[in-house]
């Protein structure tokens, strides 16, 4: 039986790799032609292929995360349909081996790949989130879109600017709007650049503004505080690390949270999202809570999808691999419509809470998966 197990594993892995490489290739070709002008603008000295390889090398990591559950199901169904096509399953069952024992290597391989996808989602993708968040037009200067109109709910300072540069943690042309409690020197804090600095020692995290244009005469002004906590630090109170045209705005809003937007939800780890949710300076809506719960449920949903689709091929004993692929696509389509629909209802707050939006699809699909998987236990 070990020979059969190795044979099925080899067939499964080959199918998975072929499908992944094929889908990735289609995605790369389509996206590259769409953004070819941006790549040509950023490439210098004939470095076009190298630049595109660097960009799509990172994008393939995220593409694997998005297509993993589909590829596992399709590879499993194809593998089972392939051995049925050559009457190998019939021979094994005639020898007294049950269906579930025959497909056990395929199921175990699916579990391993699902676990690898979870590790990739929580460790590898967050590590390279800066590269993954870039678009082809950002490869030259790492500029993002205009900095969103974001309020620090702990200090009531509104953070905004012209553009952000990820590689430097820099905001170009910041124009921060100060609340009435911090407006002794004016309601605007305008500078040439603002650099995010994480907490270090006794200094809190925040933004170091360089080339301050408003307010004037910083060297003569004292720092401002809220409830005994320094918020706007002037150079006269910190001459060792602030220049004459610099000031420091303390804020718990990190650079990633300020500029991330959708990218923070897509590429951040679950731990980072939970920490951001606990940040009193930020006011995240139900969408982030739905994302956190969905991250927790995702591996279970991936495995449930496998047990929902695989028995359709095992019980039917279909020898047509194209029928197997069609069944797989149909199952995945209905599954994704259910998951996305519940998440949208949870984000909007119309029907579900964020927790229910993530867990309801699992509650619906698991009974169906148990019912269909029962046929695999039959001899």
Last residue of a domain, one of 243, 260, 277: 260
Distance CA 253, CA 264 (A): 13
Q: Which residue has the tokens 């149909």?
A: 330
Q: What phi-psi label fits residue 150: left (phi over 0), alpha (psi between -120 and 50 degrees) or beta?
A: beta
Beta strands (DSSP E) in the chain are 150-152, 157-159, 163-165, 170-172, 175-177, 188-197, 206-214, 224-226, 229-233, 246-250
Q: Within 10 A of 333 (CB to CB), how many other CB atoms are there?
A: 11
What mean pLDDT comes out for the span 66-85? 88
Question: What pLDDT shows up at residue 315?
Answer: 66
Question: What pLDDT shows up at residue 318?
Answer: 54
Q: Which residue has the tokens 């990820």?
A: 166
Residue 20 is encoded by which pair of tokens?
Answer: 């992944």
Query: Quick check: is 101 in a domain?
Result: yes
Residue 75 CA: distances (Å) to CA of 15, 55, 80, 326: 5, 27, 9, 13
Question: What pLDDT shows up at residue 65?
Answer: 93
Higher pLDDT, 58 or 227: 58
Query: To which H or E segment does residue 311 belong?
Result: helix 286-316
Distance CA 309, CA 74 (A): 9
What mean pLDDT comes out for the span 143-151? 69
243 and 177, same structural domain? yes
Query: Quick check: is 154 in a domain?
Result: yes
Q: Within 10 A of 17 (CB to CB), how many other CB atoms are there?
A: 12
97 and 17, same structural domain? yes
364 and 322, same structural domain? yes
Whether pLDDT at 73 is above 80:
yes
For residue 90, name the pLDDT band (cuts at 50, 70, 90): confident
132 and 175, same structural domain? no
Query: Quick check: is 142 in a domain?
Result: no
Residue 279 is encoded by which pair of tokens?
Answer: 């940040």
Query: Quick check: is 166 in a domain?
Result: yes
Whether pLDDT at 93 is above 80:
no
Query: Quick check: is 270 in a domain?
Result: no
pLDDT digits (tens, 9 = 90+) for 217-272: 888 889 999 888 889 999 988 888 898 889 999 998 888 788 766 677 788 889 98
The share of the chain scoring above pLDDT 70, in percent, equals 92
Query: Quick check: is 196 in a domain?
Result: yes
Query: Quick check: is 269 in a domain?
Result: no
What mean pLDDT comes out for the span 288-309? 90
Whether pLDDT at 17 is above 90:
yes
Specify whether the CB–CB gap between 140 and 42 falls below 8 A.
yes
225 and 154, same structural domain? yes
Distance CA 262, CA 270 (A): 14
Domain that holds residue 160: 150-260
What mean pLDDT comes out for the span 92-119? 88
11 and 114, same structural domain? yes
176 and 111, same structural domain? no
Question: What pLDDT shows up at residue 361?
Answer: 92
Question: What pLDDT shows up at residue 324?
Answer: 67
Q: Which residue has the tokens 């499993």?
A: 76
What mean pLDDT comes out for the span 338-361? 88
Q: Within 10 A of 289 (CB to CB), how many other CB atoms are there?
A: 20
Higher pLDDT, 84 or 27: 27
Q: Which residue has the tokens 């907490």?
A: 199
What mean pLDDT comes out for the span 310-319? 69
Query: Quick check: is 350 in a domain?
Result: yes
Cα Rg of the chain (Å, integer): 27
118 and 7, same structural domain? yes
173 and 254, same structural domain? yes
**Considering the entire predicted model, what is its pTM?**
0.80
198 and 91, same structural domain? no
Residue 198 is encoded by which pair of tokens?
Answer: 């994480």
What mean pLDDT comes out for the span 278-307? 86
71 and 24, same structural domain? yes
Specify whether the CB–CB gap between 238 and 253 falls below 8 A.
no
CA 327 to chain centre: 28
120 and 72, same structural domain? yes
pLDDT digits (tens, 9 = 90+) for 171-216: 989 999 999 888 888 889 999 999 999 998 888 899 999 999 988 8
Distance CA 35, CA 52 (A): 10
Number of domains in the chain: 2
Helix 354-373 and helix 321-348: axis angle, to 10°?
160
pLDDT digits (tens, 9 = 90+) for 109-123: 999 999 999 999 999
Give the chain's mean pLDDT.
85
Whether pLDDT at 375 is above 80:
no
Residue 12 is encoded by which pair of tokens?
Answer: 């499964």
Whether pLDDT at 146 is above 70:
no
For residue 379, name the pLDDT band (cuts at 50, 70, 90): low
Specify whether the CB–CB gap between 249 and 232 falls below 8 A.
yes
């Amino acid at each position: 039986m070990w020979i059969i197990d190795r044979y099925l594993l080899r067939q499964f892995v080959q199918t998975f790799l072929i499908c992944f490489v094929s889908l990735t290739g289609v995605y790369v070709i389509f996206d590259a032609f769409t953004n070819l002008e941006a790549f040509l603008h950023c490439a210098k000295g004939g470095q076009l292929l190298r630049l595109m390889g660097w960009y799509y090398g990172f994008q393939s990591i995220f593409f694997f995360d998005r297509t993993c559950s589909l590829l596992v199901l399709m590879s499993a169904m194809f593998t089972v349909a392939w051995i049925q096509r050559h009457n190998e399953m019939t021979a094994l069952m005639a020898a007294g081996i049950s269906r579930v024992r025959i497909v056990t290597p395929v199921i175990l391989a699916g579990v391993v790949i699902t676990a690898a996808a979870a590790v990739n989602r929580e460790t590898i993708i967050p590590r390279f989130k800066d590269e993954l968040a870039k678009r082809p037009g950002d490869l030259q200067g790492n500029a993002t879109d205009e900095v969103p109109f974001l309020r620090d709910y702990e200090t009531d300072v509104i953070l905004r600017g012209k553009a952000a540069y990820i590689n430097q943690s820099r905001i170009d042309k910041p124009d921060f709007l100060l609340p009435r409690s911090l407006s002794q020197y004016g309601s605007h804090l305008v500078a040439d650049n603002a650099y995010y600095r994480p907490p270090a020692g006794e200094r809190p995290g925040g933004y170091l503004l360089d080339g301050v244009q408003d307010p004037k005469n910083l060297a003569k002004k004292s720092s401002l505080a809220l409830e005994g906590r320094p918020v706007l630090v002037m150079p006269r109170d910190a001459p060792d690390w602030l220049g004459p045209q610099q000031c420091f705005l303390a804020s718990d809003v990190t650079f990633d949270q300020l500029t991330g937007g959708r990218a923070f939800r897509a590429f951040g780890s679950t731990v980072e999202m939970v920490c951001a949710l606990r940040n009193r300076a930020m006011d995240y809506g139900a969408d982030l809570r739905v994302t956190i719960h969905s991250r927790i449920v995702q591996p279970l949903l991936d495995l449930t999808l496998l047990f929902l689709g695989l028995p359709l091929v095992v019980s039917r004993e279909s020898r047509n691999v194209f029928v197997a692929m069609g069944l797989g696509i149909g199952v995945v389509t209905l599954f994704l419509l259910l998951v996305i629909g519940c998440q949208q209802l949870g984000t909007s707050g119309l029907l579900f809470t964020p927790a229910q939006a993530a867990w309801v699809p699992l509650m619906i699909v698991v009974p169906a998966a148990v019912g269909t998987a029962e046929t695999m236990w039959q001899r």
